[in-house]
Structure 1
Amino acid sequence: MITRATLAAVGDVLIHSPVYKDASISKGKYDFNPMFNEVRKLTQEPDILVANQESMIGGTGLGLSSYPSFNSPQEIGDALKAAGVDVVTLANNHTLDRGEKAIHSALAYWDKLQMPYTGAFRSEEDASTIRTLTRNNITFAFLAYTYGTNGIPIPKGKAYLVNLINVDKIRADVEKAKKISDVIVVSMHWGTEYEPKPNQEQLQLAQKLADMGVHIVIGNHPHVLQPPAWVRGKDGNNTFVMYSLGNFLSAQERTERLIGGIGSVEVTKTVTGSNKTITLKNPTFIPTYNYYRNHRNFKIIPMSTIKSNDTLKNALQQLEKTKKHMALFIPDLAFR
């Protein structure tokens, strides 16, 4: 029996104050849905879509805030779900920005939305439960880790609040995930901000993850695109590593920080008798542009549809430059 499913991911969703002010519809009420309208058909296509929700959605009750200590409206969660997101990763350098209260408030809202989350948890029990989703008879497990929390210490005895990158812990989690899933997806908050290529630590960690038998790695944090790669594990397995998917939605400036995208790969599960094999193929990337003017009218646009210099100066050249950059390690990477 052969079944297939497509797993896709988008980069950082980082809700700076201009973004939530633009989404404001009345006092304390927000609607982010229009920001996703032009990319919605594409985000709803994959069997599973993963997003890195970088700012905690603690909600208005705790007081909204932006850089350097984020707390976002909970309605961004509704918009991500409506856009087709199936899993959110929450392990990043901003997880602890507003402390435990914001984490607990955010997790309660994700639960209300019935949106699986990973990387930040409410308890030891919650942290020990590996999130899985099954599509087309293929079960995916999701794990997430961050390099740090901007110097904010994790409260004593509450390591479950956020997963830090620790190779031994990751290995133990991966082994646990192998028992309950077919495909292991690990999100890594890593790398150097604004660097267009993975650094040595990313390359080394990617190799370790491949050697553990991880199938797909989703990287975030650099806020710019880094080219994906195939990394061969010690058992001959091919791991698909998306080193950085850049920003999906934010109010950052400079063109390279406003170009992100949707990375995807097709997963095939073949069962013959008692033997099961998982193969990955057809890696694809859809470049997107995070448009805004004067900190208003935020929207995510597929770059291939941009024809006007008013939207993005030298749009065609920017698209070709992005394609060339992203195909650096995978020359036959497909684009849409």
Structure 2
Amino acid sequence: MQRSRSEAHSQEKLRRKKRLKRRIIVNFTLLGVIIILLGVWLAVSNSDKLSEWFDIFGDGSNGQEQAGKPSTDENTPGNVILPSEEPDNSNENGVNALPEDDAEVIDSEPAASDDDKISLSFVGDLLVAEYVSAITEREGYDYLYKEALLYLSEPDLTAGNLEFPITKRGTPVVGTPYVYKGSPDVLPSMYNAGFDVMSLANNHALDQGVEGMLDTMSYLDEAGISHMGAGSNDTEAFAPVIKEVRGIKVAYIGLSRVVPFPSWKADKYNAGLAESYDTTRANAAIAKAKEQADIVVVMVHWGKERVDKLEPYQTDFGKQYIDAGADLVIGSHPHVLQGFEMYKGKWIAYSLGNFIFTSYPKETAGETGVLDALCTKSGDCELTFHPMFTVNAQPTPLEGDAAKTLLDRLSSISFGVRLEADGRLVSD
């Protein structure tokens, strides 16, 4: 069931793009016709031969030929014939027909080459609880993604970190300061917004015990959203999700360097998380995924909360993941944005901060955004960060000076990387 709904989701995103392209083509065509007709009208209006124009194209008030007017009789040598300037798009009933929005459009797509590119997008932590819940009760869950919708739905694949269990059961864990639980009702809005993949490798996945974690996986399957980073054993937890777009395979691996209890670590006989305190198992999983896919994305939960300064192991681990075969390393957990780095031509985003989060956003905790990666089959990616700030639980795009301020700050905390005014990441 997961495969079919996930494939349907990808096809729906593709259909949205095709519908948008068709509408743009039709609108520009109509605009061009209007401009041409307006130009002709203005030219004729200013001509001394205005009456001759009407004589040629008008049918006359009494049906008789006027002096000096060429005959419009089809057998008369002076007959004026205007060639058709547009193809006939009419159907068998004589009515102009455009493709229906939902009509199936068959494209012949060649096998992917290194010149082909796919768009991958990423956000930080998603946690729909507390003050956010009060807003969704009033506005509905879809409200959360309204301002950022195009950034989420238009890319080929969109991924985030789901930092709370989705379950109606479970036993709350004891011994941690924050324990969360979410309703399955939150998932359809995530699917509709465009999310394809969620990492479960984080320090809240087992807030409601193993039962809650397994329920989360089942509900995500039902919603058509793929997941990784947790499982009924270590083999399942470290296994990648592999998505294919236009012949390019992308493997997503979820890892966590933040695991509250040793019992939460998945092993041969224990359900839990794919942990990365020791990188041996993680690096082996990455190398194996690289044999199965063209592009490998590692989504890792790490670092220190509420600070944009990195822990020393983050730079070490990020580079190890790339050495093992990762093409992109995407971090979460600090709840604030951290910087970017390029290593051996591959990108590390140390933290994408909060996207939808339970605590009221203040200062850097409210800074967020969507990271776009335009990648070739060979794993070379161009990154663009779209800066946003959370307003009333909605990630809202920034413009002008506000956008520049955030992009400049990200440049200042990055490593040999600057962000241009349009959000593009450039390695110095």
TM-score, structure 1 normalization? 0.83
Q: What code does the residue aligned with 2:418 have?
A: P
Please say if residues 238 and 274 of structure 2, whose CA atoms lie closer than 8 Å, have aligned partners that are also in contact. Answer: no
Distance 1:181 1:160, change over 3 A: farther
Question: Which residue number in structure 2 is paired with residue 161 of structure 1?
Answer: 272
**Structure 2: 5+ residue stretches without partners:** 1-112
Query: Matched residues in 2 for 1:71 and 1:193: separation?
Result: 21
- Structure-to-structure mapping, 1:111-150, within 5 angstroms: 111-123=221-233, 126-127=236-237, 129-150=239-260
Q: Provide the secondary structure at the position in 1 that maps to 2:299.
A: strand
Q: C-alpha distance in 2, partners of 1:258/1:95?
A: 23
Per-residue deviation, 1:123: 4.3
Q: Which has the higher helix share?
A: 2
> Does the C-alpha gap of structure 1 residues 171 and 32 become closer, same or farther in structure 2, counting only changes over 3 Å?
same
Q: How many Å apart are 1:199 and its aligned residue?
A: 2.3
Report the residue type matching 1:290 in the other structure.
T
CA offsets 1:165-215 (integer angstroms, 9 cap, x no match): 131111111121122100110011011111113221111111111211210
Decide which of 310, 331, 335 is 2:418's aligned counterpart: 331
Match of 2:309 among 197, 218, 240: 197
SS for the counterpart of 1:244 is: coil
Counterpart selection for 2:394 from 299, 305, 315: 299
State how far apart, in whole Å, the 2-side matches of 1:159 and 1:208 are. 26
8 Å contact 1:9–1:262 — kept in the other structure?
A: yes
1:51-130 equivalent positions in 2, closer than 5 A = 51-59=160-168, 61-62=169-170, 68-123=178-233, 126-127=236-237, 129-130=239-240
- After superposition, the C-alpha distances for 1:62-120 in whole angstroms (9 at most, x for unaligned) are 59999601111222221111111110001011112110111111111011112110011
Q: Partners in 2 of 1:125 and 1:149 — Cα distance?
A: 18
Q: What is the correspondence of 1:5-44 to structure 2 with a 5 Å cutoff?
A: 5-24=118-137, 31-44=140-153
Counterpart residue type for residue 321 of structure 1: T
CA displacement at 1:150 relative to structure 2: 2.3
Q: Structure 1 pair 142/324, CA: closer, same or farther in 2 (3 Å)?
A: same
- CA distance in 2 between partners of 1:93 and 1:64 (Å): 13
CA deviation string 1:35-62 (max 9, x = no partner):
1111101111211111111111124x55
Does the aligned pair in 2 maintain the 1:228–1:242 contact within 8 Å? yes
* Aligned amino acid, residue 388 of structure 2: T
Q: Which secondary structure state, in structure 2, belongs to the residue aligned with residue 204 of structure 1? A: helix
Query: Shift of the alpha carbon at 1:325?
Result: 1.9
Q: What SS does structure 1 have at the residue aligned with 2:391? A: strand
1:321 Cα deviation (Å)?
Answer: 2.4
Determine the structure 1 residue equivalent to 2:373: 265
**Residue 290, structure 1, aligned to residue 378, structure 2:** no
In 2, Cα distance between the equivalents of 1:117 and 1:226?
A: 24
Tell me the equivalent position of 2:379.
278
Name the CA shift for 1:88/1:214 in 2 (closer, same or farther; >3 Å): same
CA distance in 1, matches of 2:202, 2:354: 14
Task: Report the identity percentage.
Answer: 24
Please point out which of 246, 257, 266 is paired with 2:353: 246
Which residue in the other structure is 2:330 paired with?
Answer: 218
Q: Give 1:278 deviation, angstroms.
A: 3.2
Q: Specify which structure has the bigger relative contact order, considering alpha-carbon pairs within 8 angstroms and separated by 6 or more residues.
A: 1
CA distance in 1 between partners of 2:239 and 2:357 (Å): 31
* 1:326 CA drift (Å): 1.9
Instruction: From the superposition, tell whether residues 332 and 301 of structure 1 become closer, same or farther in structure 2 (CA, over 3 Å).
Output: closer
Name the SS of the counterpart of 2:380 in structure 1: strand
Cα separation, partners in 2 of 1:207 and 1:123, compared to 1, 3 Å: closer
- 8 Å contact 1:191–1:199 — kept in the other structure? yes
Q: Which residue of 2 aligns with 1:309?
A: none
Which range is displaced more, 94-103 or 117-126? Answer: 117-126
Letter of the 1:280 counterpart: C
Q: Structure 1's 317 and 69: CA in aligned 2 closer, same or farther, altered over 3 A?
A: same
Structure 2: distance between partners of 1:105 and 1:302: 33
Q: Which structure has more strand as a fraction of its residues?
A: 1
Please list the CA deviations of residues 131-162 of structure 1 after superposition, one character each: whole Å capped at 9, or x if unmatched. 10011221000101111322363288644421
SS in 1 for 2:231: coil
What TM-score, normalized by structure 2, do the two folds share?
0.66
CA pair 162-40 structure 1, distance change in 2 beyond 3 A: same
Judge conservation of contact 1:9–1:264 (CA < 8 Å) in 2.
yes
Aligned length: 302
Q: Which amino acid aligns with 1:302?
A: P
